[in-house]
Structure 1
Amino acid sequence: MVRKAARQCSPWLIPSLLAISLALIAGCSGKASTARYSASNVGSACYAKALPTAGEGGLAWGSTLSMARQKSLNNCIRYAGRSGGTPNTCQVVLAECRN
């Protein structure tokens, strides 16, 4: 019976692979993240908040008061449905425009 000699890895191979992978992970996580959504759009001067009787409500910005009210009502219906609330009871409780 012929046996082949077992090849041993160099003692520095595993630590170097670990160091390279950590460097790659750190390099990717250090990138500046870009915000997908802004709390207030640049041209949006009006905001509105809609709440259901149960569940999560919705806050939205819009260029006009009616647009902000409609967006917040749509958000309220969406979020209330996801949170187990009552989407059919959403009402706009606050709507204002900034100066």
Structure 2
Amino acid sequence: MTGTTARRCSSWGLLSLLAISLTLTAGCSGKTATTRYAASSLGDSCYAKALPTVGEGGLAWGSTLNMARKKSLNNCIRYAGRSGGTPDTCKVVLAECKN
């Protein structure tokens, strides 16, 4: 008798968890997808990319070419340091403005 009751309770519990997870998933699926970097590039038309000799580089947007270069260099220094690279070798390798 105890084994049958335990099986019924565990199956109800599993069904409840499944129903809850499906409900939560259905609630999130109606949301529209947003671009991750849309907010940072809406008003900024210039971008720059800086790379170190070893490690990760940095890409940044700015309202002017000089601002984009400065931000990308700062990002490069930060990311190269975190990835075990050489932050003091960061150089801007690409910088341009969109029309």
TM-score in terms of structure 1 length: 0.74
Residues 1:80 and 1:39: Cα distance change in structure 2 (over 3 Å): farther
Distance 1:39 1:60 in 2: 13
Cα distance, 1:38 vs structure 2: 2.8
Residue in 2 that maps onto 1:24 = 23
Cα distance, 1:14 vs structure 2: 3.9
Matches within 5 A, 1:9-88: 10=8, 13-14=12-13, 16-32=15-31, 34-38=34-38, 41-88=41-88
Greater Cα offset, 62-71 or 8-17: 8-17
CA deviations over 1:19-40 (Å, ceiling 9, x no partner): 3133234225525354553386
AA of the residue aligned to 1:68:
A
Greater Cα offset, 21-30 or 6-15: 6-15
User: Equivalent residue of 1:79, what SS?
Assistant: helix
Distance 2:18 2:53 in 1: 54
Structure 2 stretches lacking a partner, 5+ long: none
Structure 1 stretches lacking a partner, 5+ long: none
Cα distance, 1:50 vs structure 2: 0.7
From 5, 8, 11, give the equivalent of 1:8.
Answer: 5
AA of the residue aligned to 2:5:
Q
TM-score in terms of structure 2 length: 0.74
AA of the residue aligned to 1:66:
N
User: Equivalent residue of 1:27, what SS?
Assistant: helix
CA deviations over 1:8-62 (Å, ceiling 9, x no partner): 2647624531431332342255253545533861111111111111111111111
Between structure 1 and structure 2, the one with the greater Rg is 1
Q: Over aligned residue pairs, what C-alpha RMSD do you find?
A: 2.8
Percent identical pairs in the alignment equals 58
- Number of aligned pairs? 95
